[in-house]
Amino acid sequence: MSVEQTITDKLNQSFTPSHLEVINESNRHHVPPNSETHFKVVVVSEHFDGKRPLARHRAINEVLAEELSGPVHALSINTYTQVEWQNITEVPKTPNCKG
C-alpha cells in the first residue's frame, strides 16, 4: 500500500472527516521521482470542535506517528471544524522547498 493511501486510511478511521485531502507534495522537493516523503493534509472533522490548533496537530501527529518516524519527512497539517471550513476561501499554500 502506498504511503499516501496509508495516511488517507488512518485519517479516515481516526477522524471520520467530512472533507479530507492528502496531497503528495514530494515533487516540489529535491527527492527522487515518485517519492512519498512530503505531504499536505486538509482534514475537516467534528473531532476538532472545541480543540485548539496545537491539540489538533498533535492528534494528527499521533495517528501518523509510524509514517512520521519513517518514510514521511515533512507533513503540512491544515485542520478545520465544519463551521471553520464553511468560512474558508483558500487553504494556505505550502511554502516552496528551499533546499
Q: Which domains does the chain have, with CATH numbers?
A: 3-86 (3.30.300.90)
Residues 31, 49 contacting (CB under 8 angstroms): no
Reference 10, options 84, 82, 75; nearest CA is 75
Cβ count near 95 (within 10 Å): 8
Cell numbers for 12, please give them: 479516515
Residues 2, 34 contacting (CB under 8 angstroms): no
pLDDT digits (tens, 9 = 90+) for 56-73: 999 999 999 999 999 999
> How much is the pLDDT for 95?
76
Q: What is the pTM of this model?
A: 0.92
> How much is the pLDDT for 92?
87
What strands lie across the sheet with 74-80, from one edge to the other? 19-24, 38-44, 74-80
The DSSP secondary-structure symbol of 47 reads G
Low-confidence ranges of the chain (pLDDT < 70): 98-99
> How much is the pLDDT for 5?
98
